[in-house]
Amino acid sequence: MKDKRIIAYKNERVKKIAFNFRKLLIEVVMQEWINLHHEKIKNKSQAERIAIENERSNLLGALRNSICLCPGCSQTDRDMVYNAPLKEWYCTLCVQKYRDFYRKKKAILDRGGFVGDFNEGFHESFL
Ligand SMILES: [Zn+2]
């Protein structure tokens, strides 16, 4: 991983404020996502429903790419690491889990073994 930005708060007070702010942002986004659903099911044309659904999808995409929650475990109160190839933030625990998983599966593959369902590119992006 070339871009190794890490967000880790050392000051407990700042950490608490940041984590509460993440939760608040998630709540605001999810409330808007629900509001758009209610808007969509009103008497709308097909084109309007598609536009609203695209907007809802974009909201979830923005949330997924944000630092507010880890896409791996959905936790909001952890130190975060940026995964530049995926353009997503993951918590330090998930990053370590994906790195360990990659090394373990890669070692089996390198010996000519079978590893089953293994997305090498995804897991390699955490190295
Ligand atoms: Zn995580």
Q: Which two tokens stand for residue 29?
A: 């986004």
Q: How far is the CA of 115 from the centre of ligand 1 (A)?
A: 23
Does 1 map to a domain?
Answer: no
Structural domain contains residue 71: yes
Q: How many CA atoms lie within 13 A of 54 on its CB side?
A: 6
On whether residue 64 sits in a domain, the answer given is: yes
Give the model confidence (pLDDT) of 85-104 as tens digits.
999 999 999 999 999 999 99
pLDDT category at 116 given cuts 50, 70, 90 is: confident
Residue 11 lies in a domain: yes
CA 69–ligand 1 middle distance (angstroms): 8
Residue 127 and residue 1 in contact, taking contact as beta carbons nearer than 8 Å: yes
Return the ∠ at Cα 7 (arms to 59 and 103), rounded to 5°: 90
**Residue 26 contacts residue 76 (beta carbons within 8 Å):** yes
Q: What pTM value is reported for the model?
A: 0.84
Which residues are near ligand 1, the ion (C-beta closer than 5 Å)? 70, 72-73, 91, 94
Residue 2's pLDDT is 60
For residue 13, give its domain range.
6-124
Mean pLDDT of 57-69: 94
In the chain, the number of structural domains is 1
